[in-house]
Amino acid sequence: MTINVNGTGQRRPTMKEVAARAGVALKTVSRVVNEEPNVSPELTAKVQAAIKELNYTPNESARMLRRGKTGTIAVVIRDIGDPFFASLGRAVELWARSNGSVVMIGLTDEDPERERDVCLEFVARRPDALIMAPIGETQDYLAPHVDAGMAVVTIDRPAHGIEADAVLADNAGGIDQAIDHLVRQGHRRIAYLGDDERIFTARERVVAYRAAMARHRIDVDEDLVHLSEPTTEGIGITLSAVLDRPEPATALLSANNMTTAEVLRGLAGRRDQVALVSFDDLALGDLLSPGLTAVAQSADVMARTAIQLMTERLPEPHRPGRTVRVPVKLTIRGSGEIPPSS
């Protein structure tokens, strides 16, 4: 019997044909393929020889379904164009590839309705786990699936309304490092440029900014605090508002990498005139002139932590949720060391 399995149009061999070649019952082949006990070494050898001769490949999806698993991990994130989330997606994909799983990735574009739609579409396909960066006020629409045993781990932001693990950056610690560093350089008029406050990280970071300024006994000038979606036009207007005024900011704290990219664009021609510290690093930050001083958070470390929590939760889907804070580190390269001009 010759069965071509190399994609030339002929059908794949079946388990029944393996049984016929080995001269054993179909149930015996099933037990060997699924690594079940109570099969003698002699019969196991016959089945394995027949599998090799026929180049038989088990139906992995069916096998996982019989075990209550699908071998699928769903990932729902903000934007694959965001370097942080791109790194996260890649880390999960590498893990899945080495563990015989596949990954589905969906994007929310920071839209709560889109988040809900994507998540529900994915969970209908029965993934073993969902790793997500939530934006909506609640994720209680996932409660029935969590109750049924699906593992949920959130990254960058916590979930609400369900029992889930969370991997978060040390947002307050990173902002503290940035403000402490700028104050040591002599700055007191420090502008804060952050994201939409609907986002958990944006809220945590602006609260930390106000607390750090208070700790240094510096009154916050509300005209120097700007929270909005990072667009080229919007950041251009913001930079004009904080720099082109009678008492301009002498330093900028940019609260995420997308904002930082637009700030760098808007500062073209005067990057050496105002200090800049970014929360989030940029891939080419060390090649800028001056180099970008940044509070770096590791997407790889956060992804590995999320995967570890996921693998721990899979056999214990109903255990209490855990939250892990991942440290961040200030990387000094030049832009944050520019002294006040006045």
d(CA 253, CA 234) in angstroms, rounded, equals 16
Flag whether pLDDT at 44 surpasses 80.
Answer: yes
Q: Please check the confidence at residue 192 and state whether its pLDDT lies above 50.
A: yes
Least confident of 83-92, 113-122, 259-268, 286-295: 83-92
Q: In the chain, which residue ranges form alpha helices assigned H by DSSP? A: 15-22, 26-33, 41-54, 60-66, 83-98, 112-123, 143-147, 171-184, 200-215, 232-243, 257-266, 299-313
User: Residue 340: how many CA atoms within 13 Å on its side-chain side?
Assistant: 16
Q: How many CA atoms lie within 13 A of 230 on its CB side?
A: 21
CA distance 285 to 252: 16
DSSP-based three-state secondary structure for 69: coil
Give per-residue pLDDT as tens, 70-111: 788 999 998 888 888 888 888 888 888 887 788 999 999 889
Q: pLDDT tens digit string along 212-247?
A: 999 999 999 999 999 988 888 899 999 999 999 999
Domains of the chain with bracketed CATH: 15-57 (1.10.260.40), 67-169+299-326 (3.40.50.2300), 171-298 (3.40.50.2300)
**Portion of the chain with pLDDT greater than 90, in percent:** 59
